[in-house]
Amino acid sequence: MSRLFPLAVLAAVAVGGAVGCAPTNQTLQTSHFTLNHPDFWKVTKTASQDGQATVVVIPQYGSAVIDDGSGTMANKGQNYDAVTADVEVRLYTFPDPSPDMDATQAAAQLISKADPELALQQSAIIPDNPPECDTYPKKYTVYGKVETPLDLVKRPGHRTIVVAGRSDGYLTGVVSRFEYEPDMQRNCHNLSNMRVQLQNLLDGLSPNGATPAAGGATPPKP
């Protein structure tokens, strides 16, 4: 009983802390789109014109490191369930030059010219077979339409996903990435997280003038 009581207290504190620290939402509005996002996401740059990037960094929620017990990181390298790499997402808008062209392919061409730092043209396309990390590439819903992404990698460099959508004569291109590491187990863990976070972001993305996504965020306080 003396061993169980402290664990029970810790569990109660953890549950209470989780409830009390639940993330709230914020709203970012640009000329062409609105993004509802958790407030622990970091908007590090907002574009002032078409072709520039609005940059959002999605960090790991919480910073706990397991250094004691069976899940210790110190003795077993890394606990992949406890730590994920930050996901950087860059959002761009362009007047749509080729409405009949695939949205992602059109956006990727424009982004490559507008933001050479991403090195998209120097990145390799991830083949469908064999499936990366034993998981076939997924598609993403952008502005209510299912779009096929462009999955890229540069070693050394970044594992990158490019996807785009159309609205009101404009393309919105979205580039998400994390820093590539030689450890494939870690890369697969980070890739799984990035895919989830990317769709989370897209679920909160709406073109201006459109109905906000369900459960949308409330504007930040002044």
Each residue's pLDDT tens digit, 17-37: 444 455 689 999 999 999 999
pLDDT score of 79: 55
Q: What phi, psi does 172 have (nearest 5°)?
A: -110, 110
- Around Cβ 47, how many Cβ atoms within 10 Å? 17
Residues 73, 82 contacting (CB under 8 angstroms): yes
Please state the CATH superfamily assignment of the domain spanning residues 24-207 in this structure: Mog1/PsbP, alpha/beta/alpha sandwich (3.40.1000.10)
Q: What phi, psi does 26 have (nearest 5°)?
A: -130, 165
Q: What phi, psi does 37 have (nearest 5°)?
A: -150, 155
The domain spans of the chain are 24-207
**Does the CA dihedral 95-100-103-104 come out positive or negative?**
negative
Mean pLDDT to the nearest integer, 67-79: 42
| pLDDT surpassing 80 at residue 214 | no
pLDDT score of 222: 32
CA-CA distance, 95 to 98, in Å (whole number)?
9
What is the pLDDT of the chain when averaged over all its residues? 81
Mean pLDDT to the nearest integer, 174-201: 94
pLDDT score of 180: 93
Residues 79, 45 contacting (CB under 8 angstroms): no
pLDDT tens-digit series, residues 81-117:
567 899 999 999 999 999 999 999 999 999 999 999 9
Residue predicted with more confidence, 70 or 110: 110
pLDDT score of 6: 37
